[in-house]
Amino acid sequence: MNQFAFRPAAWLPCHDAETLERVRAIRREDMEYTNENGFSVQVVLDPLLHMVMDVFHRIYLSDVQDTPLTMIFPNQWPGAYSAIANMINRYNVSCRNVHAFAMDEWADEDGNVAPLTYGASLGYSFRTHFYGNIREDLRPDVEHWHVFTNENKANGVYSSIIEEVGNGGADVIYSATGWPGHIAFIDPDTEEFAADSLADFLKLDSRVVTQHYMTICENALFAPMGASGDVWAVPPRAVTIGPRDVVHARERFVMHNITNPGGDSWQRMISRLELYGPITKECPSSIVRLGKGTCFVSETIARPFGTWTCGMPNKDL
């Protein structure tokens, strides 16, 4: 077949044709590795189950060893958080030493942070499905379950709280990559996270940010916004941790597992760019590879691409 050459849209996080073709062509058997920073990729059936196990194990150790534990969490994962809380209750694990941080929250066009009374609030879900499901005698003061507010939204304030209670940074940050390559709401090519170099980018801390076009589209597919592509229901701005919080964490736990029932997924390509493309501020989630951690990739995300550009004949499409 004749190829149709074109340059991808200017607002996409990568334009290097060689890189795009290389990451598309990575086979399942070549996906696992460990880099020089101690970051590894593992392909598993269900990354979310590994997250539940990991979170519970760390909280359990913080109880029996009586050691502080600072954790940063993505939103929304109500099923996972409810399961963790259920195990905490069943095995009588105290969370007295835990400080848990939600990594982001919605904001309106003027930068006002969504209140916890807003039904689609990320902080509301974090505190309701996680903290609220932990038995009262096992959970700490609610202020240990940190969320963004108008009082802590100013540049660097939330990051400073993480570093203060975490002795320089979180013990672990749990995350997943977004469609334009974001981690939390650290989107590419936004004015608020503009930097002249990767080194400067890594110094940027928590702040209010304008969402990338693709981030708004992605969130319109999720349950809090109706799971119907209602982009008008997604707030235009957000407040988020910064790259500094990602790289200052002592360990990173990443999940790539977002798929539809039929197996199709918008995450399959950006997963490969994050894990096998260059580490760059144009794909913010790629900075997880700069330190110790693991990305758990589901078998569904690890499937080969179903397009003629990767060797699949037209008759099989």
Q: Is 33 left (phi over 0), alpha (psi -120 to 50) or beta?
A: beta
Q: pTM surpassing 0.85?
A: yes
Return the residue matching tokens 């795009």: 20
Q: In the predicted model, what is the mean pLDDT of residues 240-263?
A: 94
Higher pLDDT, 154 or 310: 154
pLDDT digits (tens, 9 = 90+) for 74-100: 988 999 999 999 999 999 999 999 999
Does residue 315 carry a pLDDT above 60? no
CA-based radius of gyration for the chain: 19
**How far is the C-alpha of 102 from the C-alpha of 126, rounded, in Å?**
7
**Residue 226 pLDDT:** 86
State the chain's mean pLDDT as an integer.
94
Does residue 311 carry a pLDDT above 60? no
Residue 317 pLDDT class (50, 70, 90 cuts): very low
Higher pLDDT, 224 or 229: 229
Does residue 310 carry a pLDDT above 60? no
Residue 1 pLDDT class (50, 70, 90 cuts): low
Q: In the predicted model, what is the mean pLDDT of residues 214-232?
A: 91
Residue 261 pLDDT class (50, 70, 90 cuts): confident
Does residue 169 carry a pLDDT above 70? yes
**Residue 149 pLDDT:** 98
Does residue 2 carry a pLDDT above 90? no
